[in-house]
């Protein structure tokens, strides 16, 4: 007869091979977004090992999830991708009793369109997509997309490698809505995008700041956190919210319905919502922090960064789930890029 110790060992091997090891968290998140210090701090405190995989677009996240096999416990989509996943019942409802630090989320980040009852999602960081100008190299006023995509700036531009973002800039330029996208609106913006793509030197969603720092390009259309890091590096990098309109994104944490380690996922969400942990995230990735208590810990310089906390009027919109039009956007962009 087997001893109790042998039985416990066999159980541990079995649960481990099924991916049920409680001391593990499979996190799938954006690249350049979660500081290593934060992952290490969580493991040190809880003993939970974090297996961290990254992606550079919501579409990459979605296709990996739909293909299955990822075994992810915690994911980090933007608002419109979360809305899609809620609609398709791909997410587990949160057990709020396990996340007492939810009290730190600012009221303006609650009850938003992608998750009106805050049942599935917790905001991580928010931000905008805007223009960065190296003002030592570019003397013309740059106010919007039309000013950026001029033939004289050919090969001096870096832009996000993100189909939905690029199509949205063109929709704004054409005066069309960003969240009611159909074949007709895409046909209207096709020629605009085809012209723009020819001018771009670098497509990069992971670290678009690098091409600007290296002096490979002089203007970028980037995530606000990247612009904020550029501003910290050198005040010659000015952030401009495009006059035609800009995306205000909310990146969130949520738990896939089939996540094997839901307790670990709840524990991680609660950990990152601690003000002192969230402050570290803001230090390394200076987006707009939705944690009201963490904001109190930020320095006046951090709060005055014009890319992290933009002031002044701007036409900002969050994205919505656009259903089948998402695939049409991808087809359009593949088509345009392959014709270059």
Tell whether residue 101 is among the known ligand binding residues. no
Q: Which stretch binds ligand SPD (CB under 6 A): 24-32, 83-91, 263-271, 299-307?
A: 24-32
Per-residue binding string, ligand SPD, 161-200, x by CB under 6 A, is -x--x-----------------------------------
58 counts as binding ligand SPD under rule CB under 6 A = yes
Q: Which stretch binds ligand SPD (CB under 6 A): 27-35, 148-156, 182-190, 309-317?
A: 27-35
Q: How far apart are CA 34 and CA 50, in angstroms?
A: 12
Q: How far apart are CA 140 and CA 159, in angstroms?
A: 19
Chain-centroid distance, C-alpha 143? 24
The CA-CA-CA angle for residues 122, 35, 291, to 5°, reads 35
Q: Are strands 122-134 and 219-223 parallel, antiparallel or unpaired?
A: antiparallel
Orientation of helix 262-272 relative to helix 36-46, angle to 10°: 120
Q: In the bound complex, which residue of the shown chain has the CB atom lying closest to ligand SPD? A: 32
Q: What is the CA radius of gyration of the chain?
A: 21
In which residue are the tokens 């091997």 written? 13
251 counts as binding ligand SPD under rule CB under 6 A = yes
32 counts as binding ligand SPD under rule CB under 6 A = yes
**Tokens at 332, concatenated:** 């359009």
CA nearest to 30, candidates 160, 133, 158, 132: 160
Tell whether residue 190 is among the known ligand binding residues. no
Q: Which stretch binds ligand SPD (CB under 6 A): 29-37, 67-75, 96-104, 137-145?
A: 29-37
33 counts as binding ligand SPD under rule CB under 6 A = yes
Positive/negative CA dihedral, 169, 171, 176, 178: negative
Min CB(195)–ligand SPD separation in Å: 23
Orientation of helix 58-67 relative to helix 163-173, angle to 10°: 140
Please select the residue that binds ligand SPD; options are 124, 196, 223, 271, rule is CB under 6 A.
Answer: 223
249 counts as binding ligand SPD under rule CB under 6 A = yes
Phi, psi of 233, deg, nearest 5:
-75, -45
229 or 294: whose CB is closer to ligand SPD? 229
**Tokens at 261, concatenated:** 């380690």
**Tokens at 43, concatenated:** 């493991």
3-state secondary structure of 200: strand
Count residues near ligand SPD (CB under 6 A). Answer: 11
Please select the residue that binds ligand SPD; options are 25, 55, 78, 264, rule is CB under 6 A.
Answer: 78
Q: Are 239 and 310 in contact (CB under 8 A)?
A: yes
Per-residue binding string, ligand SPD, 276-315, x by CB under 6 A, is ----------------------------------------
Tell whether residue 274 is among the known ligand binding residues. no
Please select the residue that binds ligand SPD; options are 30, 109, 169, 196, rule is CB under 6 A.
Answer: 30
Tell whether residue 164 is among the known ligand binding residues. yes
Q: Which stretch binds ligand SPD (CB under 6 A): 26-34, 100-108, 171-179, 306-314?
A: 26-34
What percent of the residues of the chain are helix, what percent strand, and what percent coil, each to the nearest 5? 45, 20, 40
223 or 253: whose CB is closer to ligand SPD? 223
* Residues that bind ligand SPD in the complex, under the rule CB under 6 A: 30-33, 58, 78, 162, 165, 223, 249, 251
Residues making up the binding site: 32, 80, 162-165
What residue numbers does the annotated binding site for spermidine cover? Answer: 32, 80, 162-165
């Amino acid at each position: 007869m087997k001893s109790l110790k042998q039985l416990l060992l066999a159980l541990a091997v079995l649960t481990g091979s099924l991916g049920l090891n409680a001391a593990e968290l499979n996190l799938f998140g954006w690249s350049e977004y979660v500081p290593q210090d934060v992952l290490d701090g969580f493991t040190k405190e809880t003993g939970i090992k974090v297996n961290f995989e990254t992606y550079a677009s919501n579409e990459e996240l979605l296709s990996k999830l739909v293909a299955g096999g990822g075994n992810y416990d915690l994911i980090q989509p933007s608002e419109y991708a979360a809305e899609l996943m809620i609609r398709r019942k791909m997410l587990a409802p949160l057990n709020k009793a396990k996340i007492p630090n939810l009290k730190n989320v600012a009221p303006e980040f609650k009850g938003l369109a992608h998750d009106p009852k805050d049942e599935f999602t917790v905001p991580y960081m928010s931000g905008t997509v805007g223009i960065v100008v190296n003002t030592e190299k570019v003397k013309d006023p740059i106010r919007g997309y039309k000013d950026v995509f001029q033939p004289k700036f050919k090969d001096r531009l870096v832009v996000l490698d993100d189909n939905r973002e690029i199509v949205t800039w063109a929709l704004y330029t054409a005066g069309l809505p960003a969240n009611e996208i159909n074949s007709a609106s895409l046909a209207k913006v096709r020629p605009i995008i085809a012209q723009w793509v020819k001018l771009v030197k670098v497509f990069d969603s992971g670290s678009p700041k690098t091409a600007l720092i290296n002096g490979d390009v002089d203007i970028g259309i980037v995530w606000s956190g990247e612009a904020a890091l550029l501003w910290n590096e050198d005040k010659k990098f000015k952030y401009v919210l495009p006059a035609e309109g800009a995306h205000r994104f909310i990146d969130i944490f949520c738990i896939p319905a089939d996540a094997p380690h839901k307790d670990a996922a709840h524990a991680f969400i609660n950990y990152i919502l601690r003000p002192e942990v969230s402050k570290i995230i803001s230090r390394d990735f200076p987006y707009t922090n939705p944690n009201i208590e963490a904001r109190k810990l930020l320095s006046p310089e951090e709060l005055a960064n014009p890319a992290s906390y933009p002031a002044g009027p701007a036409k900002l919109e969050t994205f919505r789930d656009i259903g089948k039009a998402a695939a049409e956007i991808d087809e359009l962009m593949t088509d345009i890029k392959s014709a270059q």
